[in-house]
Structure 1
Amino acid sequence: MTHANDSRLGDYLKNRRTKLDPASFGFSGGRRRTAGLRREEVAQLANISTTWYTWLEQGRGGNPSADVLDRIAKALTLTEVEREHLFLLGLGRSPEVRYRGGDAITPRLQRLLDALAYSPAIVRTATWDVVAWNSAAAAVLTDYGSLPPEQRNVLRMIFCDPRVRAAQFDWESVARFVVGAFRIDAARAGAAAEVQPLVDELCRSSPEFAAMWRDNDVRTYGEGVKHLRHPVLGKIALEYSAFAVDGRPDLQMIVYNPATPVDQERIRSLIEGMGAACIGK
């Protein structure tokens, strides 16, 4: 770590501790020369020596370990983005991801999905559970709302649902791609322990999944073209792109755009026809 980074780390630590209320940590308010926590109080909360913490603020403590930075982040009650900034200043890299889980998405994100009228779009977790989708996804991909929540898992559908399997033009290639992308997504989100029950379940129920999982291949989802056999539209091509959800490393949004004007027109007709049928009931 350079001297400039040492200085920035020290300045950041001092700035954060001076914004905290000593009373909320059980320390006496009393007369203080400066606002916020004292250095020795931060050191006490982080379970490190006062001398070491003082050196860090003064820019002469050397490179702190990830464990020390994590303890300081907890002592200073940093948010996730503040903790990330602390690691970037102290180690020059982001901290290891801590899987948060949780299925909820914001109403704003759902409205974004709904605004894509003729482009199927979903949000999936690091365990590849689909937790949000739009009407186009229900019409073109899968009617996720008709499935129990535990069945809205892409891997379960690919390996255990004959209808989804039949919709793929090259099922084995798609399945291998999904397994490799699933593996890297779970690792990036720090969710290795959380996905293990699903992996064990699929290894028991699908010899094909078990064999592909043993291969240890990894893929990145990124973008590409997906070809499907739709029960109404027949063969259809979709260009897909994957987007990270800011602040939620456990979530990805996947948008499938019709690959050609003809595909777009067919999807539009399907969705509008389904809407008219619903109104007519």
Structure 2
Amino acid sequence: MTTGTRSRHTRREELAAFLRSRRERIRPEDVGLPPGLRRRTPGLRREEVAQLAGVGVTWYTWLEQGRPINASVQVLDAIARTLRLDAAEREHLYRLADLPEVAGPGDAGDGLDAEVHTILGRLDPLPACVYNGRYDLLAWNAAYGTIFASVVGRPRLERNVLWRVFTMPGCCCPLVNKEEELPQMVATLRAAFGRHVGEPAWTNFVTRLSAASPDFARMWATHDVARPGARMKLFQHSSVGLIRLTSTSMALAAPPETRIVVYTPADDESRGRIEWLLAHPEAGHCPLHEETVRG
């Protein structure tokens, strides 16, 4: 058995055990079913879960037995609702089922506590944001948005900083010292990738970005790894010029592998330029910015 096959088999075994444990904790009367007198196990029966979720009994039985069957997001959503999974349990279910991480219906899409958004707002005029391990941008404050408009202006599923800096036109990329910073960012991604080997969401992201950017493919091939840390970053804004910032990363307790990054001005000139941008939200960006956002 290959390493990849063994990994998938282990996840299926975990999925089977997880579904059984969630099913057994729900009482029939909790979901409007009669308790019955001849139940051999606590909680719901498999056929009851299948009925409530609107899926076939045989299909659900195979899923809970850990058989190699495919499950769509819609079907897993129905099972998650039936089993009353919370946000962390739903995310765990997707990962075990070999599906990309998908936000649950009705949530804010980022999984962050409300207090994190409050902190981001309080940090203005210091640019600040929250990234996950794949550099998806989950949240940001106004100061961050003034510098990284080409990222925050994208639809939610396209707000990935690595993808943007490697694929946007050179005139629209705000990062000046790319030769030092891009290899560091790729090395940080590589370290996080080690915790997600074999997961489709991560593998597909690396494959697509490698195809879209030869520079990323070259850096990825070095297998360098690094941890997030304090870095000096130079950004160029078409309205105010050069902004020198020191980035500081701090891990968050939840969601897993997320961090808040705060950008501190390295000098009074940079601080003044950020404050000016905050006071002039209409200030222009790269002339191709609007076209890039629409594209």
TM-score by length of 1: 0.59
Is 1:223 the equivalent of 2:236? no
Query: d(CA) in 2 for partners of 1:164 and 1:158?
Result: 11
Query: d(CA) in 2 for partners of 1:141 and 1:135?
Result: 10
Which residue number corresponds to residue 206 of structure 1?
A: 213
Count of matched residue positions in the alignment of Structure 1 and Structure 2: 212
8 Å contact kept, 2:151–2:161: no
Secondary structure, aligned partner of 2:281: helix
Cα separation, partners in 2 of 1:276 and 1:177, compared to 1, 3 Å: closer
Report matched runs for 1:23-172 at 5 Å: 102=103, 103-104=109-110, 105-163=112-170, 166-172=173-179
From the CA coordinates, give the structure whose radius of gyration is larger.
1
Query: d(CA) in 2 for partners of 1:180 and 1:214?
Result: 10
TM-fit CA distance, 1:106: 2.1
Please list every run of 5 or more consecutive structure 2 residues that lacks an aligned counterpart in the other structure: 1-24, 30-40, 42-85, 89-99, 104-108, 285-295
Please list every run of 5 or more consecutive structure 1 residues that lacks an aligned counterpart in the other structure: 1-19, 25-40, 42-78, 82-98
From 170, 176, 180, the counterpart of 1:173: 180
Secondary structure, aligned partner of 1:126: coil
Query: d(CA) in 2 for partners of 1:186 and 1:251?
Result: 14
> What amino acid does structure 2 have at the position aligned with 1:174?
E
From 276, 282, 292, the counterpart of 1:269: 276
Q: Summarize deviations over 1:93-134 as a string: whole Å, max 9, x none.
A: xxxxxx976442222211111111111111112221111111
8 Å contact kept, 1:241–1:256: yes
Query: d(CA) in 2 for partners of 1:270 and 1:191?
Result: 43
Query: d(CA) in 1 for partners of 2:135 and 2:261?
Result: 11
Query: d(CA) in 2 for partners of 1:150 and 1:247?
Result: 19
8 Å contact kept, 2:163–2:209: yes
From 238, 242, 247, the counterpart of 1:240: 247
8 Å contact kept, 1:181–1:220: yes
- Runs in 1 of length 4+ with deviation above 6 angstroms? 20-24
> What amino acid does structure 2 have at the position aligned with 1:206?
S
